[in-house]
Amino acid sequence: MNKRKMIKKTVKIPGSNWVILFLLPLLLSLVGLIFVFEASSVRGLTEVGDSFHYLKLQLQWIFLGVFCMAFFSYFNFRNLYYMAFPLMSIVIVLLVIVLIPTIGHQVGGARSWINFGFFNVQPTEFAKFATIIYLASWFSGTEKRRFLPFISLLGFLMLLILLQPDMGTALIIFFLSITIYFIAGKELRYLFLLVPVSVVGFLFLIIAAPYRMRRLTAFLNPSEDPGGVGYHINQILISLSQGGIFGQGFGASRQKYLFLPEAHTDSIFAIYGEELGFIGSVLLIFLYTIFLYKIYQIYSMTSDRFARLLIGGIFAYFGFQIIINLGGMVNLMPLTGVTLPFISYGGSHILISFALIGIIMNIAKKAKR
**Which pLDDT does position 130 carry in this prediction?**
96
pLDDT number for residue 256: 86
The model's confidence at residue 329, banded by pLDDT at 50, 70 and 90, is very high
Distance, CA of 147 to CA of 140 (rounded, Å): 14
The pLDDT value recorded for residue 4 is: 38
Q: What is the C-alpha separation between 105 and 122, in angstroms, rounded?
A: 10
Q: Which domain holds residue 176?
A: 16-366
Rounded mean pLDDT of 223-229?
A: 74
- To the nearest 10°, report the CA torsion of 344, 360, 90, 115: -20
- 103 inside domain: yes
Burial of 109 (0-12, 13-18, 19+ CB in 10 A): exposed
Q: Is 82 left (phi over 0), alpha (psi -120 to 50) or beta?
A: alpha
Q: Considering only 152-156, 188-192, 349-353, which range has the smallest mean pLDDT? A: 188-192
Residue 2 lies in a domain: no
Residue 160, helix vs strand vs coil: helix
pLDDT for 70? 94
Check the CA dihedral 22-339-87-135 and report its sign. Answer: negative
Q: What is the percent of the chain where pLDDT is above 70?
A: 90
- The one-letter code for the residue type at 57 is L
- 15-44 average pLDDT score: 88
Is residue 10 predicted with pLDDT exceeding 60? no
pLDDT tens digits for range 105-164: 766 666 777 777 666 778 889 999 999 999 999 998 766 668 888 889 999 999 999 888
Residue 206 lies in a domain: yes
Cβ neighbours, 10 Å, residue 7 = 9
* Total structural domains within the chain: 1
Q: Residue 79 — left, alpha, or beta (φ > 0 → left; ψ -120 to 50 → alpha)?
A: alpha
138 falls within a domain: yes
In this prediction, residue 32 carries a pLDDT of 94
Q: Report the alpha-carbon distance of residue 317 to residue 356 in Å, rounded.
A: 9
Phi, psi of 107, deg, nearest 5? -135, 125
DSSP track, 181-223: HHHHTSSTHHHHHHHHHHHHHHHHHHHHSHHHHHHHHHHH-TT
Give the angle 188-355-305 at the CA atoms, nearest 5°. 35
Mean pLDDT of all residues belonging to the chain: 86
CA angle 318, 322, 327 (to 5 degrees): 150
Residue 9, in any domain of the structure: no
Give the confidence band of 216 by pLDDT, cuts at 50, 70, 90. confident
Work out the end-to-end distance of the chain between its first and last CA atoms, rounded to an integer number of angstroms: 13
Average pLDDT of the segment spanning 225-246: 86
Q: Are 59 and 33 in contact (CB under 8 A)?
A: yes
Q: What digits encode the pLDDT tens for the residues 65-104?
A: 999 999 999 999 999 999 999 999 999 999 999 888 777 6
Rounded Cα gap, residues 130 and 92, in angstroms: 10
pLDDT at 188 exceeding the cut of 80 = no
Higher pLDDT, 111 or 317: 317
Residue 42 pLDDT greater than 60, yes or no: yes
Mean pLDDT for the stretch of residues 229-237? 87
Q: Is residue 6 part of a domain?
A: no
Residue 10 lies in a domain: no
Q: What is the pTM of this model?
A: 0.91
24 lies in a domain?
Answer: yes
